[in-house]
Amino acid sequence: MAGIHKIEYIPQDITPSAAIKLLKDGNYRFVNNLKMNRDLLEQVNFTKDGQWPFAAILSCMDSRTSAELIFDLGLGDIFSIRIAGNVTSENVLGSLEFATAVAGSKLIVVLGHTNCGAIKGACDNVELGNLSKLLKHIKPAVEQETATKENRTGKNTEFVNEVAKLNVLHTVKEIIAGSEIIADLLQKGTIDIVPAMYDIATGEVSFYDSVNGVKALQQANSIAAT
């Protein structure tokens, strides 16, 4: 399990909700050019004997979406899993299980982004070697987007961005369905999962309702109705 965080602004007993706030605060600094002053070589020394990332971020491999940069983070702060279209697989699930159940990360973020090339490829039914297999994971989101009746192609930016949002939500569901370990940690409240979208034009990250946050709201509504 996780040891003591050696990055002083990350509490040893950080909660999932506090982890979300750290990311929101970091993105605020990024957008407003208020980068935290870090000694990265010092962090190399701090983390040479171990790592204690407070979150695991599954994001796209797009060169403009480096999680450490857009959340103004340093070495050892997060696990960063990057794959085109921020889709999941057995290997991704295994990585997330390691991050949460072994290393003690308190939060999983599935981070999509606007103007995503992988999403465009899925919208346009691109066929290219192994890429075709990857794009099949995005197809459910393409089919779920029913508001757009015409020009359902990668050239329609609005359509692409709506599919990207649905893809993030779909990936969250796939993670929970595909990993009993992660589902159990969620049920216990040990971790949380939150979908999010990064705007490549503004640098801003929009966070949607977390999985446990949605559950709490549903429970509250259920109690109020009785």
Domain boundaries, the chain: 16-225
Q: Which residue did the predictor score with more confidence, 9 or 3? A: 9
pLDDT score of 215 more than 90:
no
pLDDT at 48: 79
Predicted confidence band of residue 2 (pLDDT cuts 50, 70, 90)? very low
Condensed to tens digits (0 to 9), the pLDDT of residues 47-70 reads: 777 678 999 999 999 999 999 999
pLDDT score of 136 more than 80:
yes
- What is the CATH class of 16-225? alpha beta
Name the average pLDDT for the chain: 90
pLDDT score of 146 more than 90:
yes
Whether the Cβ atoms of residue 164 and residue 116 lie closer than 8 Å to each other: yes
Query: What would the mean pLDDT of 119-137 be, rounded to a whole number?
Result: 96
Indicate left, alpha or beta for 196 from its phi (over 0: left) and psi (-120 to 50: alpha): beta
φ, ψ of residue 71 in degrees (nearest 5): -110, 10
Mean pLDDT lowest for which of 100-109, 131-140, 148-157, 217-226? 217-226
pLDDT score of 137 more than 80:
yes
Query: What would the mean pLDDT of 100-114 be, rounded to a whole number?
Result: 96
Whether the Cβ atoms of residue 221 and residue 204 lie closer than 8 Å to each other: no
Query: What would the mean pLDDT of 123-145 be, rounded to a whole number?
Result: 97
Share of the chain above pLDDT 70, in %: 89
Count CB atoms within 10 A of the CB of residue 83.
17
Query: What would the mean pLDDT of 194-200 be, rounded to a whole number?
Result: 98
Kindly give the residue spans of alpha helices, DSSP state H, lying in the chain: 16-31, 40-46, 67-70, 90-97, 117-123, 131-135, 139-144, 157-178, 180-188, 211-225
pLDDT score of 220 more than 60:
no
Predicted confidence band of residue 10 (pLDDT cuts 50, 70, 90)? low
